[in-house]
Amino acid sequence: MLNRCPTSSYDQVCQVVKKELGGPPEKIFEEFDPVPIASASLAQVHVARTHQGQKVAVKVQHMHMTDTASADYATVELIVNTLHRLFPSFDYRYLALIIVVLGLEYRWLVDEVHDSLPKELDFLNEANNSIKCMDNFRRLSPHIAEYVYAPAVYWDLSTSKLLTMEFVDGPQVNDLNSIQKLGINPHDIARLVSRTFAEMMFKHGFVHCDPHAANLLVRTLPSSRSGIFGRRKPQLVLLDHGLYKQLDVSTRTNYAALWKALVLADAKEIKENCMKFGAGEDLYALFAGILTMRPWNRVIDPAVDHLAIQGNASDHSELQMYASQYFPQITELLHKLPRVILLMLKTNDCLRAVNNALIQRPSVESFIIIGRVSSEALIEEKLSHASSLFTYLFVCFEQISLEARFLIMQVALWILQFRTALGFY
Ligand SMILES: Nc1ncnc2c1ncn2[C@@H]1O[C@H](COP(=O)(O)OP(=O)(O)O)[C@@H](O)[C@H]1O
Ligand SMILES: [Mg+2]
């Protein structure tokens, strides 16, 4: 059941295409490959060519998805898949959460799936999400908008149950071999993935919550030429826009303030911002631990790589102690946190898995990026409310000092990398 996905027969696919677009696939499209390239619990994807000659991906919903039985099947399947994605590598660090989510606290996930399933079943909603996401990048993150892409939607060939998109050719984000063959440096992609999702979380407040590798493709930036040593700039292609979460302004800014504090190892701010999410006096260290997958003493360690350093034996045992000793607190924490934050935890976990596939270790750079983007978002928020010249100047000063801090972190990181490369460690 874990790996088996329902596949619609070609006959069923023809029925859906006929019902949705008014004719059989061979009439609506110039060519239509009857064998799907992918199939999941809700839909399957076929490659086709339009009468104008464009290659497209056609996502066809399985029939009867609105039946209760199918919906229940999809619910169970989605829960299992989500759990699988939440904890891709069974690892001591996830032990606490696995026990809790599987054993006691899966209710939020069931609720979540029940709430989000109708939206995920509406492919026009998915298409609109992809448009809104790209629009957010152009308006709110123009410096990286060019590097992030969602396939164009063919609206005249799309309905709520069938989505026709431009076909994008490119390896998945975890396919290191193909990525290197394209002349793209995996570190550049790791940075781009971190930046892209940090911008969504902290600046847009509209977040793609399913960034696992099959939904992230990589290609060379269409406008880029080869740089030195044939190196090419990457573009990240986001697929599967069915599951998005909207963060309201206060949740978004509190979440940004919390991550900024985590990256800067600011214990007081971490505590204050955890409390805003309901993780009070006895729970904040645990929440910080779950967000960073690091024990509290590492979280507040002022070293530049405090969140990325490989866990040592004592970190292991400290986290395992969390799992067993703080079992009731973990349950309580999951109860208290807003559901949207639980979805951010899931998103973070997908991103961690992608990062590990790309560079095989926790990345200091990705934390510096998270720190930078969360700080930028907070500064932008403050500047938008600056009512006097004095406050404006004060915020500008704060901005300069933060930028200086991150620059120092970046330089410290380079020195660290340089020393590692020379074999000092
Ligand atoms: N526009 C596209 N271009 C190329 N491949 C695509 C495209 N859309 C989907 N795919 C392929 O189909 C798979 C499933 O599509 P996706 O939208 O993620 O559906 P699901 O919701 O079923 O996961 C993707 O992982 C990717 O391999
Ligand atoms: Mg997918």
* C-alpha pair distances (Å), 325 with each of 63, 317, 322, 351: 47, 11, 5, 28
60 lines ligand 1 (CB under 6 A): no
| Pick from 85, 71, 26, 28: nearest CA to 345 | 85
Distance 38 CA to ligand 1 centre (A): 7
**Least confident segment among 133-147, 157-171, 258-272, 348-362:** 348-362
Q: What atom of ligand 1 comes closest to residue 39's alpha carbon?
A: 22
pLDDT at 127: 98
Which residue has a Cα nearest atom 2 of ligand 1?
167
Distance 40 CA to ligand 1 centre (A): 10
| Pick from 240, 54, 273: nearest CA to 163 | 240
pLDDT at 93: 43
pLDDT tens readout for residues 4-37? 566 889 999 999 999 999 999 999 999 999 999 9
Q: Which residues surround ligand 2, an ion (CB under 5 A)?
A: 215, 240
234 lines ligand 1 (CB under 6 A): no
333 lines ligand 1 (CB under 6 A): no
279 lines ligand 1 (CB under 6 A): no
Determine whether 210 is an active site residue: yes
End-to-end CA distance of the chain: 46
pLDDT at 102 over 60: no
In this structure, the strands spanning 234-238 and 148-149 are: parallel
How far is residue 118's CA from residue 127's CA, in Å, rounded to a whole number? Answer: 14
Catalytic residue among 210, 240, 305, 349: 210
Task: Return the SS3 of 74.
Answer: helix
How far is residue 211's CA from residue 172's CA, in Å, rounded to a whole number? Answer: 11
pLDDT at 138 over 90: yes
Q: Which residue in this structure is represented by tokens 């910080």? A: 288
pLDDT tens readout for residues 318-377? 666 665 667 677 778 878 888 889 889 888 888 988 998 998 777 788 999 999 999 999
What mean pLDDT is predicted for residues 417-422? Answer: 78
Give the contacts of 400 (CB within 8 A, at least 6 positions apart). Answer: none
Q: Has this prediction a pTM greater than 0.85? A: yes
Distance 46 CA to ligand 1 centre (A): 9
The band of 128, judged by pLDDT with boundaries at 50, 70 and 90, is very high
Distance 45 CA to ligand 1 centre (A): 6
What mean pLDDT is predicted for residues 93-115? Answer: 55
40 lines ligand 1 (CB under 6 A): yes
The band of 162, judged by pLDDT with boundaries at 50, 70 and 90, is very high
Percent of the chain with pLDDT strictly greater than 90: 54
